[in-house]
Chain A
Amino acid sequence: DIQMTQSPSTLSASVGDRVTITCRASQSINSWLAWYQQKPGKAPKLLIYKASSLESGVPSRFSGSGSGTEFTLTISSLQPDDFATYYCQQYNNYWTFGQGTKVEIK
């Protein structure tokens, strides 16, 4: 099974900050990686697919990079609506999710 290790688990940041979240796969998943944003009581919302493709309607301040086993989600300038929990997911071999990163107000 492919394990996904996401870091950090919690991140405190201010509006306007550049934020980076990392996800590491236990084996190569090529570029079959997605990033989601989730707010309380809501289903996960897809932000990035195939590691770096921006889902339609998602603001361009969100970007993804990486391939193989190392991936990054970057928010270029954190906005008030971005305080949420973020998950990575591999879909190269079945599905596996990272543990999540909660982005909190500093």
Chain B
Amino acid sequence: QVQLQESGPGLVKPSGTLSLTCAVSGGSITGSDWWSWVRQPPGKGLEWIGEVHRSGSTNYNPSLKSRVTIYVDKSNNQFSLKLTSVTAADTAVYYCANTPHNWGQGTLVTASS
């Protein structure tokens, strides 16, 4: 199966935009239908953020929908997450995944000035 690796800034200022990328290696991003983002605040449970289809269509968690954009970049074999109007509550480890079998290792993003 493909390998997934998250990357992006580890620190985001409050009211700013969180931007992360998930690089897909060992296969094509078109080889799987859906690609997801999941997050986990420190000491808390897992929260599904949303998903993007290889065609570009998306589904988002209603609790985050107004602030989230997920898109696929076929030319670079990756998909990305943008979360706007960040607050301290968005501090979390962010994971990318495509199936329950296949997750990235996660990246910590801290929202702080």
Contacts and interface: CB of A to CB of B under 8 A. Distances in A.
Interface string B74-109: 000000000000000000000100001101111000
B46 A91 contact: no
Contact of B62 (A1, A34, A89, A99): A1
Contacts of B38: 95, 97
A49 B51 CA distance: 19
Interface residues of A, number: 18
B59 A94 contact: yes
Interface in A1-27: 1
Nearest to B63: A1
Contacts of B45: 87, 97-100
A57 B69 CA distance: 35
Contacts of B95: 43-44
